[in-house]
Amino acid sequence: MRSYALLLAEDEESFRELLKRRLSRKGYLVTAVASGTEALDALAEEEFDAAIFDMKMPGLDGIATLKRAREIQPGLPVLILTGHGSIETAVEAIRAGAYDYLTKPCNLAELEVILERALERRALEVENRGLREALRRLGDGLEIVGRSEPLRRLLELTERVAQGAMPVLIEGESGTGKELIARAVHQWSPRAAGPFIPVNAGALPAQLLESELFGHARGAFTGAVAAKPGLVELAGGGTLFLDEIGEMPLEVQAKLLRFLETHEVRRVGETRIRRVDVRIVAATNRRLADEVRAGRFREDLYYRLNVVALHVPPLRERREDIPLLVEHFLARLGSAKEMTPEALEALMRQEFRGNVRELYNLVQRGVILSPDRFIAPEDLGLTVPPARQGAPTRRGAGPSAEASPGDGGDAGEEFASLEQVERAHIARALERTGWNRAQAAQLLGVSVRTLYRKIEGYGLRPGQ
């Protein structure tokens, strides 16, 4: 599991240390500072996944720090904490770009849930950028890459399904691009001018998910400082995409079923009934029929959602699309590099349990780690297929080009140089990412903590 880097700015020492200990035990890599100025200094030195700022701090207050922080790291999700809660302050924080707002003393469990939700949304945005690059442009911003028969059949069925109004269930493994198919259902439908709102149905506990979906009245629960419409209402006239529907709590499943039957919602803490016109598209990487048998998913909801099912094929079932995807990824990354035949052959032999997402990550890794314009198997972290051992691994390489491990020397020499190769690859990844440790760790396929240990162990320093 990835360790997220978190920046905490809080001038009250005891509360700062309490939060740091609590969040560190949860696996976060917490950098704790006492002022907005120190927070900005930290942001200039390192990229963070999220931040928590106290509203009242010496010098720069939370809002001013937030505005400056988003100039340094534009995508940074920020939570604002304050002991002076008011609707006006909350509105000011949200308008300034805060992800959410909590009053002190805050419920630490609730803070953790909101923080996880912020990180999930950011991860989803990053993931979607990668997944969208898995598709060739096919009108209205959708991109589909591939000419395989399984993909063609899926798109033909998707286009037909899009014209109706019934719920749609999208099935497929993680990384296959289920949200992209959901967006295609929306954009190819008569609802294309309406909103498309995605939500992870298994990311929140039941009470918070119910509030997120159906909204709540002011004072409905602790922290509900204002009335809030739910995502079902906000998606009115468009499409609500419920990802990971198989992980939705059973009590929320019952409320979703009732909405599908009546198209009526009632906000938490209200008696007023609101009628909403929205299409539900759900996705899962689980077999819902098995979940029904295990008692984890309602059978009546399953049949209500499974009016039409779209199955997104895994990449291993459409391997003929891999060369086209690789070419597309290289172009989208703005790279003039190219795969050697051996690298492409190694890719074609992979199982790709992570599907298109895994392929994109491998191509990105190869672009960064390749020392020249030819991406070899070792740049991808893959081995040369047995049938190709002894062949040059860099197409077009002349006598002075880098030799592959199999081109000379014995096994002892190869293993003796393993640490030097690893050190060079780590140094290259850090250099290419401007010593952004989080990005470098992702490219190398290791955790941030592992990368820190490697940096310390090899004595790596910027500018070496």
- 247-260 pLDDT, tens digit per residue, is 999 999 999 999 99
Q: Which of 199, 200, 201, 198 is nearest to 185 (CA)?
A: 198
Rounded (10°) angle between helices 355-369 and 418-432: 100
Residue 182 pLDDT greater than 70, yes or no: yes
Q: Which amino acid is located at 303 in the chain?
A: Y
- Across 142-146, 191-195, 451-455, least confident range: 142-146
In angstroms and rounded to an integer, the radius of gyration of the C-alpha atoms of the chain is: 25
Q: Which of 296, 175, 179, 312 is nearest to 240 (CA)?
A: 179
Neighbour tally for 373: CB within 10 Å: 12
pTM above 0.85, yes or no: no
pLDDT-derived band of residue 226, with 50, 70 and 90 as boundaries? confident
The tens digit of pLDDT for each residue in 43-52 reads: 888 888 899 9
pLDDT mean over 270-295: 92
Three-state DSSP at 112 gives: helix
Three-state DSSP at 390 gives: coil
What mean pLDDT value characterizes the chain?
Answer: 82
Q: What is the pLDDT of residue 172?
A: 93
Q: How does DSSP assign 84-110, residue by residue?
A: S--HHHHHHHHHTT-SEEEESSP-HHH
Give me the torsion for CA of 318, 321, 326, 329, rounded to 10°: -100
CATH topology of domain 5-120: Rossmann fold (3.40.50)
Helix (H) or strand (E) holding 284: strand 279-284
- Across 15-19, 148-152, 258-262, 438-442, least confident range: 438-442
Neighbour tally for 235: CB within 10 Å: 25
pLDDT-derived band of residue 412, with 50, 70 and 90 as boundaries? very low
Residue 136 pLDDT greater than 70, yes or no: no
Residue 18 pLDDT greater than 80, yes or no: yes
pLDDT mean over 422-430: 80
Q: What is the pLDDT of residue 456?
A: 78
Maximum average pLDDT range among 24-33, 205-214, 333-342: 24-33
Helix (H) or strand (E) holding 212: helix 206-214
pLDDT-derived band of residue 84, with 50, 70 and 90 as boundaries? low
- In 129-255, the DSSP E strands lie at 135-137, 143-144, 168-171, 196-200, 239-243
CA dist 119 and 128 (Å) reads 14
pLDDT-derived band of residue 225, with 50, 70 and 90 as boundaries? low
pLDDT-derived band of residue 394, with 50, 70 and 90 as boundaries? very low
Q: Where are the domains of the chain?
A: 5-120, 149-312, 317-458
pLDDT mean over 433-449: 74
pLDDT-derived band of residue 397, with 50, 70 and 90 as boundaries? very low
Q: Which amino acid is located at 41 in the chain?
A: D
Distances (CA, A) of 211 to 109, 220, 238: 16, 9, 20
- Across 147-151, 280-284, 460-464, least confident range: 460-464
Q: Which residue has the higher pLDDT, 424 or 61?
A: 61
The tens digit of pLDDT for each residue in 301-342 reads: 999 999 889 999 999 999 989 988 998 889 888 888 888 888
Q: What is the pLDDT of residue 184?
A: 92
Residue 384 pLDDT greater than 80, yes or no: no
CA dist 326 and 146 (Å) reads 11
CATH topology of domain 317-458: Helicase, Ruva Protein; domain 3 (1.10.8)
pLDDT-derived band of residue 440, with 50, 70 and 90 as boundaries? confident
CA dist 358 and 354 (Å) reads 5
149-312 and 317-458 in the same fold: no
Q: What are the tokens at 298? A: 């309602």
pLDDT-derived band of residue 368, with 50, 70 and 90 as boundaries? very high
pLDDT mean over 403-421: 46
pLDDT-derived band of residue 402, with 50, 70 and 90 as boundaries? very low
Residue 95 pLDDT greater than 90, yes or no: no
Distances (CA, A) of 389 to 385, 403, 405: 7, 12, 9
| CATH superfamily placement of domain 149-312 | P-loop containing nucleotide triphosphate hydrolases (3.40.50.300)
Residue 108 pLDDT greater than 90, yes or no: no
Residues 6+ apart with CB under 8 A from 196: 182, 183, 186, 187, 235, 238, 239, 241
Residue pair 145/332 in contact (Cβ under 8 Å)? The answer is no
Distances (CA, A) of 143 to 4, 72, 94, 162, 358: 30, 31, 33, 17, 18
Helix (H) or strand (E) holding 65: helix 62-72
pLDDT-derived band of residue 186, with 50, 70 and 90 as boundaries? very high
Strands ordered across the beta sheet of 168-171: 196-200, 239-243, 279-284, 168-171, 308-311
Residue pair 276/287 in contact (Cβ under 8 Å)? The answer is no
pLDDT mean over 338-354: 90
